[in-house]
Structure 1
Amino acid sequence: MSETVISIQEVSFQYPDQTAFALQNVSLHVQRGEWLAIVGHNGSGKSTLAKMLNGLHYPQKGQVMISGFMLSEENVWSIREKLGMVFQNPDNQFVGTTVQDDVAFGLENNGVEQTMMKERVLAALQKVGMTAFLNQEPHHLSGGQKQRVAIASVIALRPDIILLDEATSMLDPLGRDEVMETIRELKEKEGLTVISITHDLEEAAKADRVIVLNEGSIYTEGTPQAIFQMDQELLQLGLGVPFSVRMSQLLADEGLLLTQRHFNQEELVRDIWTLNFAK
């Protein structure tokens, strides 16, 4: 039986200077080992929800449970040990003069013994493929490399849950692919629970389940396959449908009978190639 690691029950939150609720009666559950993508346009409430999961906001109504802890000022540091957050701009997370110093920073703050710290820094950088850059200055890295170091800094703390808050939005396509592949491998090998807060449906396509937020409430949820069938509704909500999904539909409209609607470009190209080769 699957274990619930995050439970959000009827949560509402309103900023003091706004008349509308940023979140209104939001309820959701996240299972251990799941990859959940939370998507929505700017102002849909997803950033507020991300800050709440990290204890930067507290619900004005309802409750949030994370890894057995009720979200409160008393429990917030215990929750942050269980949930690590990777932010939008990796430059904002760097504090060390070298890659290894940066990954060690959180461990030093937690009082981890020196020998153990070195082992955990090296292990974390190995997991994201960045051991060749131990003594590199972070500002010399590419965007994708910087974000992989930021992920290493989080996983060195050994959280149960990783929260990606628009973590690929400032990266080029290559950097985005590097980060998403790193997260996928970590999820599979380490059994991590992943929550991806994003407006990018190509990123959401890699998740097990997608929740769509709109005006502070849950509009719908389902598998990526089910969500992407709602392409016209998604466009009306201000969300761009992934290129491979749009292209699959256009090809189908022109009479090319693909085996399915594809959610990444590699599968689409493979299907087109197979169809042409079969002829």
Structure 2
Amino acid sequence: MRETIISVENITFHYDQTAPPALDDVSIQVKKGEWLAIVGHNGSGKSTLARILNGLYLPDTGKIQVCGIELTQDTVWDVRKHVGMVFQNPDNQFVGTTVKDDVAFGLENNGVKRDEMVNKIEWATKKVRMDQFLEHEPHHLSGGQKQRVAIASVIAVQPDIIILDEATSMLDPIGRGEVIQTVRELKEQSDLTVISITHDLEEASKADRIIVMNGGKKFTEGTPDEIFQLDDQLVKIGLDLPFPLQLSKRLREAGIPIKDHHLTEEGLVEELWTLHLKM
């Protein structure tokens, strides 16, 4: 069994004490090295939960531990040394005039020596395939390239956990694929823990486990296969099923004997091709 790297116990959080809570008695566990997707419609509480995990907000009640450190006002900076966050709009994260300067920013704040900093910048930008753009201005890059630079800035300080807070929602399909593939490669090459906050169930289907949020509460959790068996229940709480899953369902309704709930286009095409060869 993998060790628990994040433990959230019965947390509640209000933006306004006169309004319903944004998070209502939420408990989750995150295992070291897993990719966890937290999904939900706008207002479900998923992004609030992400910001609490990084100490941007502190819960009204409940307890959070990150890498064995209990999150409090006094420990928030210790927790942030273990957690890197990539936000929805990469332009809001850039502070340097070049890619190299931007990746260096976090290292400088952590007091990393110059020689070590140069090595870490080279390592991080190579990992995200942006090492040929070190002298480029970030604002002249494509959306996918900008997010890869934002990821390089995070991994350069080598956190244990990366939180992607709607990090692909502003990207086109190509850029989205680039970012997800980059993070997957990083995860496979190390024991990195990834938490992706998204409303895109097709993106969430690539995770090891999914937590569904609704109305500030944890609606359900499970593997992608388990979650997508819920089908219409997900639609009722405002989520769109992945296209391959919708198409699989329509094909079965049309009498085509598709066996599985396909989460990827590749899997669906492969079964259709196998079915065709048998005819």
TM norm structure 1: 0.97
| Partner of residue 169, structure 1 | 169
Q: What is the match of residue 13 of structure 1?
A: 13
Q: Quick one: percent identity of the two aligned structures?
A: 59
Deviation (angstroms), 1:255: 2.1
Residue of structure 2 in register with 1:43 after alignment: 43
Deviation at 1:129, TM superposition (A): 1.1
Letter in 2 for 1:66: V
C-alpha deviation, 1:230, in angstroms: 1.2
Shift of 1:277: 3.2
User: Which residue of structure 1 lines up, in the alignment, with residue 240 of structure 2?
Assistant: 240
Cross-structure match for 1:91: 91
Query: More displaced, 252-261 or 128-137?
Result: 252-261
- Once the two structures are superposed, residues 3-60 of structure 1 have per-residue CA deviations (whole angstroms, 9 ceiling, x without a partner) of 1000000100111264201111101100000111111111111111111011111111
Which amino acid letter does the alignment assign opposite residue 137 of structure 1?
A: E
Aligned to 2:32: 32
Q: Name stretches of at least 5 consecutive residues in structure 2 with no aligned partner.
A: none
What is residue 140 of structure 1 aligned with on the other side? Answer: 140
Distance 1:117 1:49 in 2: 32
Amino acid of the structure 2 residue aligned with 1:196:
S
- Residue number in structure 2 paired with 1:71: 71
Residue-by-residue CA offset, 1:220-277 (whole Å, 9 max, x unaligned)? 1111111111111111100000101000111111222234211111222222223223
1:151: which partner in 2? 151
Aligned residue number for residue 211 of structure 1: 211
Gaps of 5+ in 1: none
| SS across alignment from 1:187 | helix
Letter of the aligned partner of 1:25 in structure 2?
D
Q: Which residue of 2 aligns with 1:192?
A: 192
Partner of 1:61: 61
Q: Please, what TM-score do these two structures have when normalized by structure 2?
A: 0.97
- Which segments of structure 1 move beyond 6 Å, counting only runs of 4 or more? none
Question: Partners in 1 of 2:125 and 2:256 — Cα distance?
Answer: 45
Name the SS of the counterpart of 2:245 in structure 1: helix
SS in 2 for 1:159: coil
- Measured on the aligned residues, the alpha-carbon RMSD in Å equals 1.1
Counterpart residue identity of residue 209, structure 2: R
Are positions 1:108 and 2:94 aligned together? no
Residues 266-275 or 185-194, more deviating: 266-275
C-alpha distance in structure 1 between counterparts of 2:275 and 2:132, whole Å: 42
Cα deviation code 1:170-225 (max 9, x no counterpart): 00000000001111111111110000111110111011111111111111111111
| Aligned-residue offset at 1:135 | 1.1
Question: Which whole-Å CA distance do the structure 2 matches of 1:33 and 1:247 have between them?
Answer: 32
AA partner of residue 78 (structure 1): D
How many aligned residue pairs are there? 279
